[in-house]
């Protein structure tokens, strides 16, 4: 990220400076944090606190609910900057982003006042649980059921791959409020009969098992089992049976933020590659950076990165300015597609430039592979992203 990016306000530039300040403050301890994140898969609480103090966690939250209200573009700039400085490979944004958007868009006034200030100041961590073993890409197949009994809901079922459930205080659980059979019998669409519920991660009836997953380092992923978990009615986010509407609003920001993280990762890798290429000599006194076989792939990554960064900002701008969700969705999906490819290519190329050293963890590249690669698959795979662009931007028929 360079100063003087066109289209950015003074406020945006201040966010970038704040994120750089966080990175600088954490700098002396980064080796320790990297060990914690990449080797021990432990959540670095101190980084989270610094992000909260710098206003980053509350960037998307209006000032009236304790945030800084700089919007999604502000958050994009912060996460891109952190990733550029080597703080963001752990994709911190996954915790609380979806929850924030869901509560902002679908929550009651009471819910906004209760939850958002605590998210903004870092006191409250929230996981987000949609995926089930048999319902990933096709979330509508989910079977976890939240059955209403007067003033409570009773949740039964299971979720998989839930990031940070152990460190989160609460989680938003997406569940069916009507079974697929009930919907079929009543001729209702699969998008109906869903609900979002704010659930205490320590609630009675919840058990969890850690999965051996890589990708979002610093967190573990969990299988979560719900056995008659009681949730008060006031913890439902959105209208009865209409949870899918709230969910849809949260998907675009998540894609845009992950694209920003990917752009930052690509710059982190590129800087390392250039620094190494300027130093390393193999054949004579000429550094390998003089060889076009080394230069050109890096130059190509830089050119692609500039374009993807602009697209990511445009997607965030579209969201902040309330463009129709389908249009914002087009930009969000395109940004996520290209940014995930960019991050993988950049890290791959940086590893190649480093030769064998690319595989030495001290150079901090090989451990970036899984987080970058993850973004082609999750939170939504790039095939579905291209399906969206094909159907909603190009107007082509749906095939699945």
CA atoms within 13 A on the CB side of 177: 25
Burial of 185 (0-12, 13-18, 19+ CB in 10 A): exposed
Burial of 162 (0-12, 13-18, 19+ CB in 10 A): buried
Q: Applying CB under 6 A, which of residues 76, 378, 385, 388 lies at the interface with ligand FAD?
A: 378
Q: In this structure, how many other beta carbons lie within 10 angstroms of the beta carbon of residue 191?
A: 16
- Spatial separation of the C-alpha atoms in residues 101 and 56, rounded to whole Å: 15
- Spatial separation of the C-alpha atoms in residues 200 and 230, rounded to whole Å: 10
- Spatial separation of the C-alpha atoms in residues 201 and 198, rounded to whole Å: 9
Q: Applying CB under 6 A, which of residues 5, 191, 377, 390 lies at the interface with ligand FAD?
A: 377
Verify binding: residue 128, ligand FAD, rule CB under 6 A: yes
Q: Considering the complex, state which of residue 77 and residue 91 has its C-beta at the smaller distance from ligand FAD.
A: 91
Verify binding: residue 215, ligand FAD, rule CB under 6 A: yes
Question: Across-strand partners of 126?
Answer: 170
Q: Applying CB under 6 A, which of residues 381, 389, 390, 391 lies at the interface with ligand FAD?
A: 381
Question: Using an 8 Å Cβ cutoff, are 42 and 218 in contact?
Answer: yes
Positions 71 through 110 that interact with ligand FAD (CB under 6 A): 94
Verify binding: residue 131, ligand FAD, rule CB under 6 A: yes
- Spatial separation of the C-alpha atoms in residues 141 and 253, rounded to whole Å: 23
Verify binding: residue 213, ligand FAD, rule CB under 6 A: yes
For residue 368, the Cα-to-chain-centroid distance in whole angstroms is 15
Q: Applying CB under 6 A, which of residues 374, 375, 385, 388 lies at the interface with ligand FAD?
A: 374
Contact region with ligand FAD (CB under 6 A), list: 129-137, 175-183, 265-273, 284-292: 129-137
CB of 240 to ligand FAD, least distance (A): 22
Q: Considering the complex, state which of residue 35 and residue 141 has its C-beta at the smaller distance from ligand FAD.
A: 141
CB of 17 to ligand FAD, least distance (A): 30
Verify binding: residue 390, ligand FAD, rule CB under 6 A: no
Q: Considering the complex, state which of residue 160 and residue 318 has its C-beta at the smaller distance from ligand FAD.
A: 160
Q: Considering the complex, state which of residue 19 and residue 145 has its C-beta at the smaller distance from ligand FAD.
A: 145
Nearest to 333 by CA among 397, 369, 372, 383: 383
Residue listed under structure tokens 């701008």 = 317
Verify binding: residue 5, ligand FAD, rule CB under 6 A: no
CB of 88 to ligand FAD, least distance (A): 15
Q: Considering the complex, state which of residue 140 and residue 363 has its C-beta at the smaller distance from ligand FAD.
A: 140
Q: In this structure, how many other beta carbons lie within 10 angstroms of the beta carbon of residue 35?
A: 12
Q: Applying CB under 6 A, which of residues 18, 103, 116, 162 lies at the interface with ligand FAD?
A: 162
List C-alpha distances in Å: 337 to 104, 187, 215, 345, 375. 26, 35, 17, 13, 9
CB of 104 to ligand FAD, least distance (A): 19
Q: Considering the complex, state which of residue 115 and residue 276 has its C-beta at the smaller distance from ligand FAD.
A: 115
Q: Considering the complex, state which of residue 128 and residue 153 has its C-beta at the smaller distance from ligand FAD.
A: 128
List C-alpha distances in Å: 350 to 18, 54, 204, 270, 375. 28, 31, 48, 6, 18
Verify binding: residue 48, ligand FAD, rule CB under 6 A: no
Question: Using an 8 Å Cβ cutoff, are 266 and 83 in contact?
Answer: no
- Spatial separation of the C-alpha atoms in residues 236 and 130, rounded to whole Å: 15
Contact region with ligand FAD (CB under 6 A), list: 101-109, 146-154, 158-166, 338-346: 158-166
- Spatial separation of the C-alpha atoms in residues 378 and 263, rounded to whole Å: 16
CB of 50 to ligand FAD, least distance (A): 22
List C-alpha distances in Å: 208 to 4, 37, 54, 134, 162. 47, 21, 33, 17, 10
Verify binding: residue 333, ligand FAD, rule CB under 6 A: no
Q: Applying CB under 6 A, which of residues 136, 193, 243, 261 lies at the interface with ligand FAD?
A: 136
Q: Applying CB under 6 A, which of residues 26, 83, 129, 168 lies at the interface with ligand FAD?
A: 129
CB of 269 to ligand FAD, least distance (A): 20
Verify binding: residue 130, ligand FAD, rule CB under 6 A: yes
- Spatial separation of the C-alpha atoms in residues 159 and 258, rounded to whole Å: 22
* Residue with the CB atom nearest ligand FAD in the bound state: 136
Verify binding: residue 383, ligand FAD, rule CB under 6 A: yes
Binding site for ligand FAD (CB under 6 A): 94, 128-131, 136-137, 161-163, 213, 215-216, 221, 374, 377-381, 383-384, 387, 400
């Amino acid at each position: 990220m360079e100063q003087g990016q066109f289209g950015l306000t003074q406020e945006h530039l201040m966010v970038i400076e704040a994120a750089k300040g966080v990175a600088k403050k954490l700098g002396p301890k980064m080796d320790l944090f990297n060990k914690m994140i990449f080797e021990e898969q432990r959540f670095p609480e101190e980084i989270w606190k610094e992000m909260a103090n710098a206003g980053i966690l509350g960037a998307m939250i209006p000032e009236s609910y304790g945030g800084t209200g700089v919007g999604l573009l502000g958050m994009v700039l912060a996460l891109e900057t952190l990733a550029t400085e080597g703080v963001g490979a752990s994709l911190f944004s996954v915790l609380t982003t979806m929850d924030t958007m869901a509560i902002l868009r679908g929550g009651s006034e009471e819910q906004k006042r209760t939850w958002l200030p605590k998210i903004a100041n870092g006191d409250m961590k929230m996981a987000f649980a949609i995926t089930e073993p048999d319902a990933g890409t096709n979330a509508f197949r989910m079977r976890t059921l939240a059955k209403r009994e007067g003033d409570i809901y009773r949740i039964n079922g299971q979720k998989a791959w839930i990031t940070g459930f152990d460190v989160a205080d609460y989680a938003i659980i997406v569940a069916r409020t009507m079974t697929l059979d009930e919907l079929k019998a009543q001729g209702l669409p699969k998008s109906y009969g869903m609900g979002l519920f704010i659930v205490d991660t320590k609630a009675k009836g919840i058990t969890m098992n850690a999965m051996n997953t890589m990708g979002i380092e610093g967190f573990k992923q969990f299988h979560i089992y719900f056995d008659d978990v009681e949730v008060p009615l006031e913890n439902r986010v959105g209208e009865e049976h209409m949870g899918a509407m709230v969910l849809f609003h949260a998907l675009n920001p998540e894609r845009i933020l992950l694209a920003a993280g990917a752009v930052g990762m690509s710059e982190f890798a590129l800087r390392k590659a250039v620094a190494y290429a300027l130093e390393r000599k193999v054949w004579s006194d000429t550094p390998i950076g003089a060889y076009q076989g080394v230069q050109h792939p890096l130059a190509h990554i830089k050119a692609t990165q500039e374009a993807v960064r602009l697209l990511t900002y445009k997607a965030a701008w579209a969201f902040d300015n309330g463009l129709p969700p389908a249009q914002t969705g087009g930009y969000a999906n395109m940004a996520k597609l290209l940014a995930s490819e960019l991050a993988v290519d950049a890290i791959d190329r940086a590893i190649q430039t480093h030769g064998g050293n690319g595989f030495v963890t001290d150079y901090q590249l090989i451990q970036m592979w899984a987080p970058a690669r993850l973004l082609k698959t999750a939170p939504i795979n790039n095939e579905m992203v291209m399906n969206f662009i094909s159907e909603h931007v190009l107007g082509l028929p749906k095939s699945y």
